[in-house]
Structure 1
Amino acid sequence: MRWRLLVSVLAVVAGLVIAPAAAGASVPQGFVGMMADGPFFYPYMNEGAELDTMIANGVQSVRTLVNWSSMQPYASEAGVPVALRGEFTNVNGVPTNFAALDQLVALAAARRLALLPVVEYAPGWDSLNPRSAAAPPRSPRPFASFIAALARRYGTHGSFWAANPGLPRVPIRMWQIWNEPDFAAYWSRQPFEPGYVRLLRATRPALRAADRAAKLVLAGLPNFSWQYIANMYKLHARGLFDAVAVHPYTATPQGVITILGKVRAVMNRNGDRRKPILATELSWPSAKGKAPTTFENATTESGEATKLGQAIRLLAANRRRLGIGAFYYYTWITNETMPGARHDQFNFAGLLKFFDGQGTFVKPALASFSKAALAIEGCRSKGPLATNCTR
């Protein structure tokens, strides 16, 4: 879920309810996360097996895209082709296809694995520009209604759990509203802050009305994230979210901590000392010699492994000081041979690499991730459930 032309921050850098840390662990359950996108959802991939491998390597939470435009492509029942009408559920007059998300939620719940959905992409019927996937919503109300519908289905008292009594009840607690709106590739109308805060203003009460326990997470912000967050505070956004999300892409693991420190300082100055920060993406793509390295976080496969292990330990060590609620590595698996792969360094960010016609290969970064994640969780091994830990 990534289109990138990153701006360097190297020159600058030079109340969620969080489970308590288990005995022997330095982090709470859910702290160690992973992005699932791209090849993870290829039709011939075994998503359950991939989740099992994630868990065995220390993953406790998975962040994934929920594409609004795919789930609600039609404004009304009248627009749905007759042959497709059986695939949709009427939600406040809007036909909604829950099938793919139902499947992922079921797979995660069976493994007691937390999910963090990042919800974005306006359908053409509520887009400022129906011809552009990057256009923001024309009106915030349909998006707010969609988020509320998701919370009513998958949240604390969600209908999904009542309809699937054989599954462990693992409600979705957090909902992330959009991804990287500071990029025109995700939010075409810039500056993004005024329109995005309007979206929050409609979404927050709708979400809480649907599920009082639900938490709203800001869009993950890369680059000069602390400045964007300060701008949103100036627009009176303080009471409209429960957690701040940052994408601290930078050259060094220590740079990640520096960026999060800048964000924490802005939050503290604006009275949000108690709200957590989630690092909802970070990575060091092994793109050197393979793709244009437009940002300083590009490295080699061995560099990715080294920096990732260091970063996980630093995030755990600074968790209390900076109020870090969780981190999510970007990403689990990337396709290094797909058309256009060599035009974007983030196509080399995965812990696993997929080659068309050959299959999946493990990169050194997976062992580094696993060693560091299990260490901060206080586990010798994990599985088959995300909450299981052999000490």
Structure 2
Amino acid sequence: MPILVAMRGGIVLVLVGLALAAGLCAPAGAATGDYLGVSVGTLFDAERDFVPGGASQLDSLGRTGIPVARVDATWHSVEPYGPYPGFARNWVAADRIAGALALRRIRWFPILGYATPWSTSAAGTDKAGPANHAYFASYAAGVAQRFGPGGTFWQAHPELPYLPVTAMELWNEPNLRAYWRPEPDGATYASLYLATRSAVHEVMPDVKVITGGLSPYAQPEAFLRTMFAARPDLAGNLDGVGIHPYAAGPAQVMDVIVSIRETLRSLGAGGVPIAATELGWPRPNQSPNAAFAIPDATRAGDIGLISDALPVSDCNVDRLLMFTWTTPEANPVEQEDWFGLVHPDGAPTAAAGALAAASLRELPAGAPLAVCGGAPATAAPLALDMKVTRARGDQGRTCARAVVTYRGLPVNRIPVEYVQGANRAAIAGDDDGHTERCFSRPGRIRIQAKAGRWAASTPTTVRSLRKPTPKKPKKRPARRG
């Protein structure tokens, strides 16, 4: 339905402008506190100077009201030569990040890592566990002391809006070989986490240390079990578990969250918060891995739905950071180039407007949504909208078609149940939120979009069309003579 998508996209771009304008006078985190955020790593170079256009991109983020930005506080930039006598820590690059964000009233959510040339367990790469955990923990404590509550950076810069670091992420996707070589090692990572958390809490008890966001494609549940098996003292000493719940659509994102929550309960850590520190969908591209690329209007709908659902679910998810503010859009076969919420020239997408709007909404009060099966959750599910049409299919069958939206935007992969008597089928919507089911029998057809108990539409009932009555052939008059 390209015309429908184009119309929605046009409406969304208008809404984007309104959301951005609203952000001009909205204090960061006006509605959702520090729950929502976005990655901004592509706005800075290796020295943490702005890339061309980076400053204006960060200006536009600051105007939206989105309160948090995720970007690295690299160990190598802080301690390029090691913690040796005579070598002071170098805060120039980290200060640039903290200052640039604070100036725009955005709180920094730093990623701690990676290894340095002088302390790596695998020569030739920084994507390996540190050779010395105590050195790494000391660097992390230094980041907390400088940028946490009352930190030395804020003392030195009273002219800046005071937005201290309150949480840090230890590494990125440590369960993937790409980020932990030669192979992911849950036991070693658990020891690094405990050493780092202890060092940070000793100097800044109020700064949380969250595990590196785990990839959903490399058995994050098994990685967590390995961590706890190696270090049972993680129980009671874990500030939060990071997860990157990439999935086809919002319902599948929730499935990832539910699985992590169930795993934590089985490990005796059911009360530990979950942090979704990276999530997003690329726009259509030519990558061979573009299976979950979706139209921008659908990205916007998915972001709106998951942003509303996660903070009020019973899963105890305390933050959601989208990936990412902007990407180059240069290589059609490189999927990473198409995740951006804002185009390289600064033009916003529908997805950017949806995130900005979500950051300005007040979170609903009351009982949590029933998602993870925790305490009794009696809140009504989030309201999905569903438009149903019917048409005649082949052989006289009635075909019912449903389009599922949230806040006026399409959402994908939401199951839609079609019921006629004993005939029942649940069909996941396509990338534009469409499903279709055909019936050969007469009777009522009940249709409802439903994602577990946390999001549902009002059921709709339609009657099947009558089968066409075959036309009788006209009698030809008898020929005379």
TM-score (norm 2): 0.63
Q: Is the 8 A contact 2:285 2:335 kept in 1?
A: no
Offset, 1:27:
6.5
**Which residue does 2:336 correspond to in 1?**
346
Offset, 1:144:
0.6
**Which residue does 1:36 correspond to in 2?**
40
Q: Does 1:306 align with 2:301?
A: yes
**Which residue does 2:3 correspond to in 1?**
none
Offset, 1:218:
0.5
Q: Is the 8 A contact 1:40 1:333 kept in 2?
A: no
* Alpha-carbon distance in structure 2 between the residues aligned to 1:46 and 1:291: 26
Name the SS of the counterpart of 2:214 in structure 1.
Answer: coil
Superposition pairs of residues 238-277 of structure 1, within 5 angstroms: 238-277=235-274
Q: Alpha carbons of 1:370 and 1:166: their partners in 2 closer, same or farther (altered >3 Å)?
A: closer
> What is the CA deviation profile of residues 268-306 of structure 1, one whole-angstrom value per residue up to 9, with x for unaligned ones?
2333233211100000111x3432225x43223333223
Offset, 1:76:
6.0
Q: Is the 8 A contact 1:283 1:297 kept in 2?
A: no
Q: Is the 8 A contact 1:26 1:377 kept in 2?
A: no
Superposition pairs of residues 142-291 of structure 1, within 5 angstroms: 142-223=135-216, 224-235=219-230, 236=232, 237-286=234-283, 288-291=284-287
Q: Alpha carbons of 1:316 and 1:99: their partners in 2 closer, same or farther (altered >3 Å)?
A: same
Larger RCO: Structure 1 or Structure 2 (Cα < 8 Å, ≥ 6 residues apart)?
1
Q: Does 1:67 align with 2:60?
A: no
Q: Does 1:57 align with 2:61?
A: no
* Alpha-carbon distance in structure 2 between the residues aligned to 1:301 and 1:104: 29
What letter corresponds to residue 51 of structure 2 in structure 1? P
Identity %: 27
* Alpha-carbon distance in structure 2 between the residues aligned to 1:292 and 1:285: 13
Larger radius of gyration: 2
Name the SS of the counterpart of 1:132 in structure 2.
Answer: coil
Name the SS of the counterpart of 2:357 in structure 1.
Answer: helix
Which deviates the most, 138-147 or 272-281? Answer: 272-281
Pairs aligned (count): 328
> What is the CA deviation profile of residues 151-197 of structure 1, one whole-angstrom value per residue up to 9, with x for unaligned ones?
11111231112212222332211111000011111111323201111
Q: Is the 8 A contact 1:66 1:119 kept in 2?
A: yes
Name the SS of the counterpart of 1:178 in structure 2.
Answer: strand
* Alpha-carbon distance in structure 2 between the residues aligned to 1:73 and 1:164: 24
Superposition pairs of residues 67-106 of structure 1, within 5 angstroms: 67-75=74-82, 94-106=87-99
Q: Does 1:360 align with 2:346?
A: yes
* Alpha-carbon distance in structure 1 between the residues aligned to 2:285 and 2:194: 45
Which deviates the most, 254-263 or 303-312? Answer: 303-312
**Which residue does 1:140 correspond to in 2?**
133
> What is the CA deviation profile of residues 91-119 of structure 1, one whole-angstrom value per residue up to 9, with x for unaligned ones?
x6544321122122123334442211011
Name the SS of the counterpart of 1:327 in structure 2.
Answer: strand
Name the SS of the counterpart of 1:362 in structure 2.
Answer: coil
Name the SS of the counterpart of 2:308 in structure 1.
Answer: helix
Instruction: Name the structure with the higher helix share.
Output: 1
Superposition pairs of residues 327-346 of structure 1, within 5 angstroms: 327-337=320-330, 341-346=331-336
What letter corresponds to residue 53 of structure 2 in structure 1? M
* Alpha-carbon distance in structure 1 between the residues aligned to 2:86 and 2:181: 28
* Alpha-carbon distance in structure 1 between the residues aligned to 2:51 and 2:358: 31
Structure 1 residue aligned with 2:288, among 288, 292, 297? 292
Name the SS of the counterpart of 1:117 in structure 2.
Answer: strand
Offset, 1:335:
0.7
Name the SS of the counterpart of 2:275 in structure 1.
Answer: strand
* Alpha-carbon distance in structure 2 between the residues aligned to 1:249 and 1:209: 34
Structure 2 residue aligned with 1:124, among 95, 110, 117? 117
Q: Is the 8 A contact 1:278 1:326 kept in 2?
A: yes
* Alpha-carbon distance in structure 2 between the residues aligned to 1:272 and 1:201: 15
